[in-house]
Amino acid sequence: MKDYEQQLEEHLDRELKDLPELQAPPALVARILSAVSRRAARPWYRRSWQAWPVSLRAASLPILLAMFGVLCWTVSAFAHTVATAPATQKITGELAGLRLIWRTLSVLGDAAILTFRHLGPAVLAAVFIALLLTYAACVALGTLSLRLAMARADRTQL
Amino acid sequence: MTDAQQFEVFLRNYQNMVFSTAMRLLANQTEAEDITQEVFLRAYERFADLCDSPTAGGWLKTVATNLSLNHLSRYRARWSFFSELFSSNQPDEELEVQFPAQADPDALLAADRRELLDQALRKLPPSRRVPLVLYHLEGLRYEEIAEKLGVSLGKVKTDIFRGREALRRILRLQIGDDEP
């Protein structure tokens, strides 16, 4: 004999699966079609990349690759310049870049410790709070600007 | 038939299914309408793939489910903590649904029973309703529900059991003689 839990599960499963689909409100189709036509009227640069015209999608790939190449070249050239400076002439080989990063981090760490000792925790806490508040203000202003811009864009589309 | 006409036919064919999925998870008509709109906007962006696809219905249902769950976690998590605490302690007797006058639950017409069940489902708190709907109506397994909701397997099982119990009490169901 089935136990109580199993009977209840089977009974409710039957009843729930037997529920018919709910009727969507009659005005929903018109509302969705209107939203779709608004979305379709957006310029290409406000759509997702998949929805861009094929030619622009094709053009964007070499541009992105070129940007990536320029970035790599810049980083490499910068690292080379630093590596051949008089103060770091001894740093050679494959780990030169890593050593340089480690040395920079060490110097920054030492500077941070010295600053902490010199200023004391109260001043640093105040600076930290000020930074947090500035960050929060930037986020708030950014959100406000975005909402205003989007609201204006929506009104324009309407 | 133009693309716009094809999309309208597609929309009319699937709107009830998408709306039902969202409505049964969210229990709020306005939110369900918003989710339905968002689902079809996404469908429009890939309509070329979906229009002739036999899996379009499954795709729409999955997107509707995921968007509804995202909506619940994003917009309700901010304020629902205390209300959830309150509602999870709320006795099921307070979740009464309106039975038709002189109604013996066993003697109700099938249509009335379905309407009552829908009402009862809407009255459940989200913590019970959502796993119950995902299990019975969306056909997900306990493990999948736990993963989707980001909760433990034990909690899913407990919530579903409590949800069923709440429905049984609300609907005055008689299951066997050995009720707990």
For residue A157, name the pLDDT band (cuts at 50, 70, 90). Answer: very low
pTM: 0.64
Interface confidence, given as ipTM, is 0.78
The per-residue pLDDT for B109 is 73
Q: Among B26, B60, B66, B57, which Cα is nearest to B40's?
A: B60
pLDDT digits (tens, 9 = 90+) for A66-90: 999 999 888 888 777 765 655 555 5
Nearest CB among A4, A19, A20 relative to B175 is that of A4
Q: Among A13, A72, A150, A94, which Cα is nearest to B135's?
A: A13
For residue A31, name the pLDDT band (cuts at 50, 70, 90). Answer: very high
Closest chain A C-alpha to B23 CA, distance in angstroms = 8
pLDDT digits (tens, 9 = 90+) for B2-54: 788 899 999 999 999 999 999 999 999 999 999 999 999 999 988 888 888 89
The alpha-helical segments, DSSP class H, found in chain B are 3-26, 29-45, 47-50, 56-71, 77-88, 110-123, 126-136, 142-149, 153-171
User: What does the mean pLDDT of chain A come to?
Assistant: 82
The per-residue pLDDT for B106 is 59
- Report how far residue B58's alpha carbon sits from residue B70's, in angstroms, rounded to the nearest whole number: 18
Nearest CB among A13, A22, A40 relative to B136 is that of A13
Cα dist. B111→A43, A71, B118, B124, B149 in Å? 49, 67, 11, 20, 32
Instruction: List, for chain B, all residue ranges whose pLDDT scores fall below the cut of 70.
Output: 75-108, 176-180
Nearest CB among B16, B40, B173 relative to A22 is that of B16
- Report DSSP state, residue B96: -
For chain A, percent of residues with pLDDT exceeding 70: 84
Q: Measured on CA atoms in the order A60, A66, A70, A72, is the torsion positive or negative?
A: positive
Which residues of chain A does B35 touch, with a Cβ-Cβ cutoff of 8 Å? none
Q: Choose the mutation target among B14, B45, B121 for the interface with A, i.e. most A CBs under 10 Å.
A: B45
- Report DSSP state, residue A37: H
> In sequence order, what are the residues at sequence separation of 6 or more whose Cβ sits closer than 8 angstroms to the Cβ of residue B65?
B21, B25, B134, B138
The per-residue pLDDT for B99 is 55
For residue A143, name the pLDDT band (cuts at 50, 70, 90). Answer: confident
Ordered domains of chain B (ranges, CATH): 1-79 (1.10.1740.10), 90-180 (1.10.10.10)
Q: Do B11 and A33 touch (CB under 8 A)?
A: yes
For chain B, state the CA radius of gyration: 18
The per-residue pLDDT for A86 is 56
The per-residue pLDDT for B86 is 46
